Amino acid sequence: MRDLKFFAKNDTINLQSAIIILMSDAFVKIKQWLLLTGDFISFYLALLLSLIARYRGEFLAETWQTHLAPFTLIYFVWILVFYINGLYDLRRAKNNLEFGRLFFGGLAVNAALAIGFFYLAPWVGIAPKTNLFLVLIFVVVLIYGWRMLFNFLIVNSFAKTRILFLGESQESEEIIRLIEREPQLGYEIADVIVPSNEIALQNIIDEKKVNIIVLGEHLNKTPELTHALYQTIFSQMTFVDIITFFENLTGRVPVAALNESWFLENLKEADKKLYNFFKTAGDFILALILAVLLIAILPLIAIAIKLQDRGSVFYTQKRIGLDGREYIIYKFRTMIENAESAGAQFAGMKDNRITPVGKFLRKTRLDELPQVWNILRGEMSFVGPRPERSEFVSELTRQMPFYAVRHLIKPGLTGWAQINYPYAGTFEENLKKLEYDLYYLKNRSILLDIAILFKTLNIVLRFKGR
């Protein structure tokens, strides 16, 4: 959170440095923490009800103490599985079939993990066959009921956060469509107004019961509006610029709304030295572990590829990496031989050049495993923007002036764009993918990297690779 600084000169305030920009995703975070807290309460309540049902109150205190520690460990793992499965993404937390699929899929994994834990860890001292079964039954009822209640209250109650947009833009229109499509996010559009010299902003705030004011681009060039905003500061309003709000709500940075000053303010590479050190060390250790896995399964994959069409096992290709330098990427071959005899082209979602074995390798992301060699050589990281081919980079840079910024960091085996956006097979889709890459560039951290790796693991286990 930035410090509030006032610069009163000719009644003009630079909005980006003068108005406090509270974290616009705070409301989303509060709801996510509320979901998390409700889940934990439901877990422990399920354990308590199970013990009461099983022992009818006899020795309840002693039995509770025996079960508390191991089930607490299990519950933290269950929360992690729920997170990986997307159950704390408010855009998915609807009362619909998708939520049911995600919930029961996560619960099935949790049941298997719990069974494995209790039966493979005898030092725990308990093997709660009946108790675990009862806990799972109560968890289904309590968690599912809690989630349905939560969604109902968010969509239909006082919990909605009312938003006033100052200025119209492509970004504000997309946000409005998203809010209307995803009511469980808890936002409501109070109004969209085009600022004028005679704007009575405080009256609008009071009449519309506004909680957040989203400021359009370049409004700092309007002294009258700046003065009107200054007058509302003591109304405990939350101000946020359209780019920041769009970013926090969608996980993307809108390229069309950016200028060079945004990059100077948000991409401060000098502040990332400690992060880069730990990331490089983590990449090397994890790459060594995966190298052992690669050696173990290499013969099986090689045989499968050879039996397919007797072609080469590996596929090499020139890609653009850190600082725009070219390097050779290694993958298991998933396409027919000479797939690009007609020239370089993007791979499609249903590309007929992909072999049956290749489809399996892509679904499981096993085709990417040879890139551990690129990581060990320091050419790639586990998390980062996916490297693109030089033929495409030239054209993408021509169409998107800021595209080259993604080369500020090492390319990744997986990335924020890969877990949030389907395969980019056109220049237009690559523009959308770039918006996710810019979000990662700005917000990258060890925690975000870990979250991306967990989400990637979820994609791999569900055979959702592309």
Q: What angle do CA 51, 110, 103 make, to 5 degrees?
A: 100
The pLDDT, as a whole number, for residue 26 is 58
Burial status of residue 50 (CB atoms within 10 A of its CB: 0-12, 13-18, 19 or more):
buried
Which residue ranges make up each domain of the chain?
A: 27-156, 164-250, 270-461
The pairing of strands 314-320 and 388-389 is: antiparallel
Residue 425 has a CB neighbour count (10 Å cut-off) of 15
The answer to whether the CB of 178 falls within 8 A of the CB of 130 is no
454 to 45, 86, 102, 416, 421: CA distances (angstroms): 28, 11, 15, 11, 16
The answer to whether the CB of 398 falls within 8 A of the CB of 436 is no
The answer to whether the CB of 188 falls within 8 A of the CB of 163 is yes
Q: What angle do CA 324, 428, 336 make, to 5 degrees?
A: 75
The pLDDT, as a whole number, for residue 167 is 82
Run means of pLDDT, 10 residues per run, the chain, 466 residues: 35 35 54 87 93 77 85 92 83 71 86 86 74 91 88 67 86 89 82 75 82 76 71 75 87 84 80 90 93 91 87 89 93 79 59 83 89 94 91 84 89 92 76 90 91 86 68
The pLDDT, as a whole number, for residue 6 is 33
The pLDDT, as a whole number, for residue 219 is 62
Burial status of residue 155 (CB atoms within 10 A of its CB: 0-12, 13-18, 19 or more):
middle
Burial status of residue 52 (CB atoms within 10 A of its CB: 0-12, 13-18, 19 or more):
middle
Q: What is the CA radius of gyration of the chain?
A: 26
The pLDDT, as a whole number, for residue 20 is 33
For residues 26, 32, 36, 41, the Cα torsion angle rounded to the nearest 10 degrees is 80
Mapped to the 3 state alphabet, what secondary structure does the chain carry? CCCCCCCCECCECCHHHHCCECCCCHHHHHHHHHHHHHHHHHHHHHHHHHHHHHHCCCCHHHHHHHHHHHHHHHHHHHHHHHHHCCCCCCCCCCCCHHHHHHHHHHHHHHHHHHHHHHHHCHHHCCCCHHHHHHHHHHHHHHHHHHHHHHHHHHHHCCCCEEEEEECCCHHHHHHHHHHHHCHHHCEEEEEEECCCCCCCHHHHHHHHCCCEEEECCCHHHCHHHHHHHHHCHHHCCEEEEHHHHHHHHHCCCCHHHCCHHHHHHHCCHHHHHHHHHHHHHHHHHHHHHHHHHHHHHHHHHHHHHHHHHCCCCEEEEEEECHHHCEEEEEEECCECCCCCCCCCCCCCCCCCCECHHHHHHHHHCHHHHHHHHHHHCCCCEEECCCCEEHHHHHHHHHHCCCHHHHHHCCCEEECHHHHHCCCCCCHHHHHHHHHHHHHHHHHCCHHHHHHHHHHHHHHHHCCCCC
The answer to whether the CB of 147 falls within 8 A of the CB of 103 is yes
Residue 207 has a CB neighbour count (10 Å cut-off) of 11
118 to 6, 59, 139, 291: CA distances (angstroms): 60, 22, 18, 31
The pLDDT, as a whole number, for residue 7 is 32
- Side by side, the strands of the sheet bearing 187-193 are 187-193, 161-166, 212-215, 238-241
pTM over 0.75: yes
The pLDDT, as a whole number, for residue 47 is 92
The answer to whether the CB of 413 falls within 8 A of the CB of 371 is yes
User: Which of 68, 87, 250 has the alpha carbon at shortest distance from 171?
Assistant: 250
Two tokens, residue 142: 């309590």
CA end-to-end span of the chain, whole Å? 38
